[in-house]
Structure 1
Amino acid sequence: MTKFNDTLLRAARGEKTEHTPVWFMRQAGRSQPEYRKLKEKYSLEEITHQPELCAYVTKLPVDQYNVDGAILYKDIVTPLAGIGVDVKIKSGVGPVISNPIRSRADIDRLGEFHAEEQVPYVLETIKILTEEQLDVPLIGFAGAPFTLASYMIEGGPSRSYNLTKSFMVSEPQAWQALMDKLGDMTIAYLKAQIAAGAKIVQIFDSWVGALHVADYRAFIKPTMTRIVSEVKKTGVPVITFGVGASHLVNEWHDLPVDVVGLDWRMQIREAEERGITKPVQGNLDPTLLIADWNVIEERAKDIVEQGVEHGAHIFNLGHGVFPDVQPATLKKLTEFVHTYSAQLRK
């Protein structure tokens, strides 16, 4: 069997690596022709409910791009059905919830989450990958409570999060009850993924950038601290990430996370100047992936150089791969980051 590549894990722990590890958010699916062919026959939910098929989709980018980690193919709303949320993923829209949260009574009706009973297919997919197929770490993940709450309160994707933010400040006790429920669910979900074989996990607080720092500290940070503290007891590294949330990086750095994820709006050097000393992840703007290669290489070179200067860096995008990106570009980018970062480390 091929030797296990633990470069991603070592970088996440702040250890020295021979090259900068690479993985891409949304690397599984989106732009891959094999995946598009599957999507003609199956929905996302149908793929995730078939462990062998889901394992194939998860492993595909590892084989095609030579990345240093595999991100489990699923959606951040996957566990919500288990606690009583009527959620469907609509193509071109995203998660749509038919029983949105409007009151404390709606929150009290939410049930408890038991991964083995409610998402056994997720755990089976992880076992297939980690016991039989992967020679790189499997990255488990979960949505963070604010982002999940935003879908549950808005009823689907939002640009302003008006209902969510209003509920948060107007009904603080009900909000905390919702955070407690989602915090419990997230802890149980991530621990179950780790027990099944995930070697590192990422918490996606995709839309928390909609909050300012004071509200984050008051309404979100205590729950995030509890989640990360509990998950860290497993010994597995934890990454946190959000979009448009550069103003929150110091708050994330205060959490007991191992890695601070950056989107493309903040350079690694700037994060360092703001006191970020932990390993960082990021942060090429994904829209550049359809630019000419010389542009991609120039930007990637700068990010790699800043990462090597910082000391511990995982190369990624500032958000996820989108359908127009050519798989060959991701393969070429992975090879460039590996080669160039190895040269800088000599």
Structure 2
Amino acid sequence: MTSSTQQTATTTSGTPLQNDLILRTLRGEPTERTPVWMMRQAGRYLPDYIKLREKYSFFERCETPELATEITLQPIDQVGVDAAIIFSDILVVPKAMGLEVQLLEGKGPFLPDPIKQASDLNRIYIPDVEEKLGYVFDALRLTKKELNGRVPLIGFAGAPWTILCYMVQGKGSKTFDEAKAFCYTQPETAHRLLQMITDTTIAYLKQQVKAGVDMIQIFDSWGGLLSPADFENISLRYIRQIVAALKEEVLTIIFAKGAWHSLDGMAATGAHGLGIDWCIKPQLARQMAGDNIVLQGNFDPAKLLSPIPVIEQEVTAMLQAFGPKGHIANLGHGILPNVPVDHAKAFVNTVKNYQHKG
């Protein structure tokens, strides 16, 4: 790891950080406790977010820096997590590349004119990210200012394979059969598209770093739909490019849900952390990933619907399983919209109050 990621307790903008637990953990430094945040912590389970959702469309919330900042800060103020993650969406990238993207409340993403063949690549382009995604960078700068060093700020993007899934399928799916068939029947076109997404994502994340993020996470939500060989060929080879372009500039985490079979390959990218879901035991994940990388996860989000004493017991068991070093407590996927705020707080507070023995 280079000196660029071995900073003192300051954010990338130079403001002293009051809480740098997550950054120290990712740098392999000792910490007084396990840090904690939750995927999708800024959003749908918080009553104050729901009020904003009733007033503004999804993309209005994403593209208005003041709204994105307000939403990003809500879980810091209300739940007490150790890091903020910018309120945005992975599908801002295909939108910036020229595809129409709609987000329908209650139904999810819809791309009315998806990519189906080689000629469709003429309709998209590698954008000037400052021009097309400037609203994200404005939101990051404003959030950084409003945080005033309370906690680090996380930026993110979708992995190229996951972005391709939506660009080809045109909507959400449990299996993304059309996206997989596209890769298997038109491999040359698929790899051209994956490379375009990769180049856009690298430029996008580099600009996020300039705007002040302290770490980034690459979300490969659909990596687990691929066999180990296909994951390497269709997903990991492009994630590797992104990590290589960024790892000297910023702390990086890869989260490829369901792709635990390839933890060793993901660890070899040089990323600082790997997110895991609840379907793999922490001990096995550590064995596969090795000792030199941080593991993040892996609480089942549905378990946050349990009674609070059960949540406290289960979170304690998770912390004991991961041990005192090299772990960031998180969910194994995004928080569900029907989780009571008190249950989210119980998750966070149990982590914060837990002291590892020895």
- For Structure 1 versus Structure 2, the TM-score category normalised by the shorter chain is over 0.9
Match of 1:102 in 2: 116
Asked if the contact 2:311–2:343 (Cα under 8 Å) also holds between the matched residues in 1, the reply is: no
Asked if the contact 1:79–1:118 (Cα under 8 Å) also holds between the matched residues in 2, the reply is: no
Superimposed CA distance per residue, residues 79-114 of structure 1 (whole angstroms, 9 cap, x where no aligned partner): 221111111111122111111111112124311222
Per the alignment, in what secondary structure is the counterpart of residue 55 of structure 2?
A: coil
> Using the alignment, how far apart are the partners of 2:296 and 2:17 within structure 1?
24
Matched, 1:344 2:356: yes
> Using the alignment, how far apart are the partners of 2:127 and 2:242 within structure 1?
15
Match of 2:308 in 1: 293
Match of 1:264 in 2: 278
What are structure 1's unaligned runs of at least 5 residues? none
Match of 2:141 in 1: 127
Asked if the contact 2:169–2:179 (Cα under 8 Å) also holds between the matched residues in 1, the reply is: yes
Superimposed CA distance per residue, residues 41-80 of structure 1 (whole angstroms, 9 cap, x where no aligned partner): 1122111121112101101101111111001111110122
The CA deviation at 1:3 is 4.9
How many residue pairs get matched?
342
Matched, 1:71 2:85: yes
Q: Which amino acid aligns with 1:137?
A: P
Match runs of 1:125-274 below 5 Å: 125-134=139-148, 135-234=150-249, 236-274=250-288
TM-score, L = length of structure 2: 0.92
Stretch of structure 1 that moved more, 163-172 or 14-23: 163-172
Q: Which amino acid aligns with 2:233?
A: A
Asked if the contact 2:311–2:346 (Cα under 8 Å) also holds between the matched residues in 1, the reply is: no
The CA deviation at 1:212 is 0.4
Superimposed CA distance per residue, residues 89-145 of structure 1 (whole angstroms, 9 cap, x where no aligned partner): 111221111111111121243112222111111111100111332411110000010
> Using the alignment, how far apart are the partners of 2:301 and 2:126 within structure 1?
37
The CA deviation at 1:164 is 1.2
Q: Which amino acid aligns with 1:24?
A: M
Superimposed CA distance per residue, residues 198-250 of structure 1 (whole angstroms, 9 cap, x where no aligned partner): 1000000001110000111222222111111001131x111111222222322
Matched, 1:16 2:33: no
Matched, 1:88 2:99: no
Per the alignment, in what secondary structure is the counterpart of residue 40 of structure 1?
A: helix
> Using the alignment, how far apart are the partners of 1:105 and 1:260 within structure 2?
36
Q: Which amino acid aligns with 1:21?
A: P
Query: Structure 1 residues 132, 35: CA separation in 2 closer, same or farther (over 3 Å shift)?
Result: closer
TM-score, L = length of structure 1: 0.95
Query: Structure 1 residues 42, 251: CA separation in 2 closer, same or farther (over 3 Å shift)?
Result: same
> Using the alignment, how far apart are the partners of 1:331 and 1:159 within structure 2?
30
CA RMSD, Structure 1 to Structure 2 (Å): 1.5
> Using the alignment, how far apart are the partners of 1:109 and 1:12 within structure 2?
40
What are structure 2's unaligned runs of at least 5 residues? 1-14
Per the alignment, in what secondary structure is the counterpart of residue 238 of structure 1?
A: strand
Asked if the contact 1:209–1:248 (Cα under 8 Å) also holds between the matched residues in 2, the reply is: no
> Using the alignment, how far apart are the partners of 1:52 and 1:79 within structure 2?
20
Matched, 1:33 2:33: no
Query: Structure 1 residues 265, 42: CA separation in 2 closer, same or farther (over 3 Å shift)?
Result: same
Q: Which amino acid aligns with 1:344?
A: H
Asked if the contact 1:18–1:345 (Cα under 8 Å) also holds between the matched residues in 2, the reply is: no
Identity %: 38
> Using the alignment, how far apart are the partners of 1:250 and 1:189 within structure 2?
27
The CA deviation at 1:308 is 2.2
Query: Structure 1 residues 2, 197: CA separation in 2 closer, same or farther (over 3 Å shift)?
Result: closer
Asked if the contact 1:19–1:345 (Cα under 8 Å) also holds between the matched residues in 2, the reply is: no
Match of 1:46 in 2: 60
